[in-house]
Structures are given as C-alpha cells and as structure tokens.
Amino acid sequence: MTETRFHTLADGRRIAYRHAAGTGPALVFLPGYMSDMAGGKATAVLDWAAAQGRECLLLDYSGCGESDGDFADGSLSRWRDEVLALIEAQCSGPAVLIGSSMGGWLMLLVALARPEQVHALVGIAAAPDFTEWGTSAEDKARLTAGETLYQPNPYGPEPTPTHARFWADGQAQLLLHGEIALTCPVRLLHGQADPDVPWELALKLAAALRSGDVQVTLLKDGDHRLSRDADIALLLRTLNDLP
C-alpha cells in the first residue's frame, strides 16, 4: 500500500491521496457519499493495480477521510474540482474513472469536464441524480428552506446528513434528463437487491449515455456496496477486460 500524501489546493485545502506509479491508463477511484479511500473496493483496486504495474490514484474528498475540511461544506461541484486537480497533478495520461454510488455521479461530471483525458468509466451502483429521485417532495421543501436532514445510516452508527448546500448543488448537476455527451467505453455494475439505488437506474443511465460501448452487469443477489469477494473479483475482471 502506498503511503498517504497531501495535495494542497489554491485555497489551502489539503486533499489526502494515495498514488501508485505505473503504466496507464491510470485507475482513479471515486468513493461514495461519506466514504473514503480506505474502503475495501478502493484498496482492492490499488492493490490489484500495484500487482499489475498499473498507475492508480485514490483520494478523499474534502471533509472526508484524512482530507481537510468540513463535510457540511461539501458538494458535487467542490469534489469534482478536487478530483480534477488531483488528476492534473498526478496523472499525465488518460484515466479510467471508477465511481461507487455517488462517485458514479461524480465520475460523469469529471468526465464531462475533461472528456479528452477519460479513457473509460466503471460505475459500481452508480447513483446520478439521487438528490432528485432519492428525495421526497416534503424533504425537498425542507432542504430548499435551508434545513439539514438526517436519516438512519445502515452502514454506521451516526445518522446520514443531507445538507442544503449539497442538495442544491446536486439539483444544478442533474444529468438524466437528456443525453450525456460521453463516448468512451462504460461498464456499469449493479446489484438487483440494492436497497438504496434502484437497479433500473443503471439501464436509464446506459440509455442516456451517447457512447455505443456501454455494458450493464446486474447481480441478482448484489447489495448496494458490492464489496463481497465475488463482487470485487468481478470489478477487477471488468477493469482488466476494458479495451
């Protein structure tokens, strides 16, 4: 495992990352909401990349993991810009973006901002537009009024917050209402037993992408995390088989 280092942005924020040098395209893992680069899928990708001699980049968004900042200040736009800054600083050539859950939305935003550098996309229970389809009308009204919402967290002891800043920025970044102008290869992995992101969303995303090279793999018994040994093995095979 490579050691954690820090990239300092223009405003002084220090973004934690791990980088393994190697051949390209570089594998760039984007964690989900309130997740970080210490997760099982991220570390498995880094270990596999190191064994294959592939370049790999992991990072923590500001307010997450080892990075500076307050999670309440986070937004898709803010985290997208952090990812772009780390890619520019660490990856000289093309990149494969691997997005887990919210990271799947973020990988699309990063790719749209830098399409010439993105070689392929791999989504794991990708959740674009979840501020729209995942939020009730009542909760949207509360968020519009500036309230922070808290929901039970099945993955940890603390409730999951949704801050008004994050939700409003998400609503400004919706993608599924029209064509997503990306033409690179895309692979989408999704569990049909996912309680958080409907598996049908993978099909909707596949249809919205301009690319003709899009493959959707559904796991009938797969949950949201897709972090079982068999799930991770599938992810690594998917990375290995990319054109």
Q: What does the DSSP assignment read for 67-111?
A: SSS-GGG--HHHHHHHHHHHHHHH--S-EEEEEETHHHHHHHHHH
Model confidence band, residue 180 (pLDDT cutoffs 50, 70, 90): very high
Active site residue 101: yes
Percentage of residues of the chain with pLDDT beyond 70: 100
Q: What is the mean pLDDT of the chain?
A: 97
- Residue 97 CA to its chain's centroid (Å): 8
The predicted-structure confidence for 214-240, as pLDDT tens digits, reads as follows 999 999 999 999 999 999 999 999 999
The predicted-structure confidence for 77-124, as pLDDT tens digits, reads as follows 999 999 999 999 999 899 999 999 999 999 999 999 999 999 999 999
pLDDT of residue 1: 53
Torsional sign, CA 108, 180, 149, 70: positive
The predicted-structure confidence for 122-164, as pLDDT tens digits, reads as follows 999 999 999 999 999 999 999 999 999 999 888 878 899 999 9
| CATH number belonging to domain 5-240 | 3.40.50.1820
Considering the candidates 129, 169, 194, 231, report the single residue annotated as catalytic.
194
Whether the per-residue pLDDT at 201 is higher than 90: the answer is yes
Active site residue 224: yes
Q: Coil, strand, or helix at residue 30?
A: strand
Mean pLDDT of 33-62: 97
Considering the candidates 101, 119, 163, 190, report the single residue annotated as catalytic.
101
The predicted-structure confidence for 12-45, as pLDDT tens digits, reads as follows 999 999 999 999 899 999 999 999 999 999 999 9
Q: Are 199 and 218 in contact (CB under 8 A)?
A: yes
**Would you give the DSSP letter of residue 214?**
E
pLDDT of residue 194: 98
Considering the candidates 163, 190, 224, 231, report the single residue annotated as catalytic.
224
Ordered by start, the domain boundaries in the chain are 5-240
